[in-house]
A and B are shown apart, each in its own frame.
Chain A
Amino acid sequence: QVQLVQSGAEMKKPGASVKVSCKASGYTFTGYYMQWVRQAPGQGLEWMGWINTSDGGTNYAQKFQGRVTMTRDTSISTAYMELSSLRSDDTAVYYCTRDLRENWVTTFEYWGQGSLVTVSS
Chain B
Amino acid sequence: EIVLTQSPDILSLSPGERATLSCRASQSLSSSYLAWYQQNPGQAPRLLIYGTSNRATGIPDRFSGSGSGTDFTLTISRLEPEDFAVFYCQQYSSSPRTFGQGTKLEIK
Contact = CB atoms under 8 A, between A and B. Distances in A.
Interface of A: 35, 44-47, 59, 61-63, 95, 100, 105-109, 111-114
- Would you call the interface of chain B mostly helix, strand, loop, or mixed? loop
Nearest to B34: A107
Contacts of A108: 35, 37, 45, 47, 90
Interface residues of B, number: 21
Interface of B: 33, 35, 37, 44-47, 50, 56-57, 88, 90, 92, 95-102
A26 B69 CA distance: 36
B99 A44 contact: yes
Contact of B44 (A46, A62, A114): A114
A62 B33 contact: no
Contacts of B88: 44-45
Contacts of A113: 44
A107 B33 CA distance: 9
Contact of A107 (B44, B57, B90): B90
Nearest to A6: B44
Nearest to B88: A45
Contacts of A47: 96-99
Contact of A109 (B33, B56, B95): B56
Nearest to A106: B92
Given A44-B88, A112-B44, A100 B96 contact: no
B95 A59 contact: yes
